[in-house]
Amino acid sequence: MFENLSERLERSFKILKGQGKITEINVAETLKEVRRALLDADVNYKTAKEFTETVKEKALGQDVLNAVKPEQMMVKIVHDELATLMGGSAAEFNIKGNPAIILMSGLQGSGKTTFSGKLANMLKSKRGKNPLLVAGDVYRPAAIEQLKVLGEQIGVSVYAEEDNKNPVKIAQNAIQYARQHGKDLIIIDTAGRLAIDEKMMNEIESIKKAVNPQEILFVVDSMTGQDAVNTAKEFNQRLDFNGVVLTKLDGDTRGGAALSIRSVVDKPIKFVGTGEKLDAIDVFHPERMADRILGMGDIVSLVEKAQEQYDEEEARRLQKKIAKNQFDFNDFIAQIQQIKKMGNLKDLASMIPGVGKQIKDLDIDDDAFKGIEAIIRSMTPQERTNPEILNGSRRARIAKGSGTNVQEVNKLLKQFDETRKMMRMMTTGGGRQAMRNMGR
Ligand code: GDP
């Protein structure tokens, strides 16, 4: 799986071998190769472009870690961005409800029927569910037969009405049947066509309206690359589905669908099919998929360790500076960068116990640091290390340079001074014990 992509990415990292650090020039060269590799893997053009832009920004904004070589750092950044591109963490799958209703959608041949069987089997054996498979494809008698054979293999009942040509009615009847027979989950397999077709879309839309499913899954053959992404887009416009199932990942897939679907359709991949057998199903984990694509897990963990260590060293260094009252604007801006690196301010604040609910409706501006940063960046290195020298004319110059005004500069300097005092109090006097306790 994705062999070619893995190989090409590995080759592009080699460009950084022997380089002292990541620079605008060598990162551009590397990322040109990364982008080509992605495009050759049939990744959506816009997705590939945005991906390399993000990686570039991250690579140039990284702290330089002595223990890590530039090519190793690049592996780690690309790895993390690949995982993010595919959705970050594994998506929820909702099977609450009695019966919980799962509606399958997708083109003919995508692997919908096979997947319905695999899912029923998995939920039965791993989640203790008592599922019912519903044959919603009323056009192909062979499809009903196929589902029945699958049901038999996994010991799951199949609901079908051979003479009924109305799939909406069949789905409604199946829910009745499930209630009467103690089935707590139903999986409705629907008719697919070889290409998008208005009648098929109307039909599945009507089923959705009639049964109000907990989950609508869109099944797509990963071998079809960009076509898969386009089909996903059209199904999503009509159905607003909850998640994607990528089948046939065991084949010679280039990776385009897996890597583009999330960013194009904005819906998570929830499951993958990795073979024709009924146990060839996996919950999709973006992180693990990124591991597999890059196959460089040891480098990724090496960089992670170095980053942790760097943070600790940095914290110790900072504490010393604070104690000696040497905390300056360089440290201040580094702290702002740290906070920004951790993500969205509102998310961060909401993780503080007891704060979560209160700030939910507050309007926290993620650009809150922008003015502050602009002011600090307009200071000379000397001014940053010795804020004491900031007299009136320097302040006026900084205000002009940063596009702010003298009042704002004064406000920041005052805040900085107070912060410094407070920090010193915390690390020296009685605050020290409090800080220690906080660390526990
Ligand atoms: P449907 O028309 O969407 O219901 O598709 P089917 O479930 O009938 O599958 C079409 C073909 O793809 C069948 O031959 C399946 O055995 C095969 N298939 C389905 N899922 C997978 C998979 O994950 N890997 C492989 N290799 N084949 C699969």
Q: Which domains are present in the chain?
A: 3-89 (1.20.120.140), 100-284 (3.40.50.300), 324-438 (1.10.260.30)
Chain length of the chain: 440
Q: Give the ligand 1 atom nearest the CA of 116.
A: 7
Cα 86 to averaged position of ligand 1 atoms, centre (Å): 23
Profile the chain (440 residues) by mean pLDDT over runs of 10 residues.
84 88 90 94 92 92 77 90 90 91 94 96 94 92 91 96 92 96 95 82 94 96 87 94 94 83 92 93 90 76 74 77 82 76 58 52 62 90 91 95 93 86 69 46
Q: Is 206 annotated as a binding residue?
A: no
Peptide bond into 268 cis (omega under 30): no
Cα 276 to averaged position of ligand 1 atoms, centre (Å): 6
Residue with tokens 């897990």: 297
Residues 435, 159: Cα–Cα separation, whole Å? 64
Mapped onto helix, strand or coil, the DSSP state of residue 223 is: helix
Q: What type of residue sits at position 92? A: E
pLDDT at 154: 95
Mapped onto helix, strand or coil, the DSSP state of residue 147 is: helix
Q: Both tokens of residue 284?
A: 């999709």
pLDDT at 232: 93
Helix (H) or strand (E) run with residue 106 in it: strand 100-106
- Helix ranges (H only) for 86-127 are 112-127
Indicate if ligand 1 lies below 6 Å from the C-beta of 248.
Answer: yes
Q: Give the ligand 1 atom nearest the CA of 146.
A: 8
Q: What are phi and psi of 259, to 5 degrees?
A: -85, -25
User: How are the residues of the chain apportioned to helix, strand and coil, as percentages rounded to the nearest 5?
Assistant: 60, 10, 30
Ramachandran assignment for 97, one of left (phi > 0), alpha (psi -120 to 50 degrees), beta (any other): left
pLDDT at 195: 74
pLDDT at 345: 60
pTM above 0.90, yes or no: no
pLDDT at 438: 46
**103: β partners:** 188, 216
| Residue identifier of the C-alpha nearest atom 16 of ligand 1 | 276
Mapped onto helix, strand or coil, the DSSP state of residue 383 is: helix
Lateral strand order in the sheet of 215-221:
157-159, 131-136, 185-190, 100-106, 215-221, 243-247, 269-273, 281-283
**243: β partners:** 217
Cα 319 to averaged position of ligand 1 atoms, centre (Å): 60
pLDDT at 140: 82
pLDDT at 427: 65
Residues 33, 22: Cα–Cα separation, whole Å? 15
pLDDT at 431: 47
Q: Is 112 annotated as a binding residue?
A: yes
Indicate if ligand 1 lies below 6 Å from the C-beta of 110.
Answer: yes
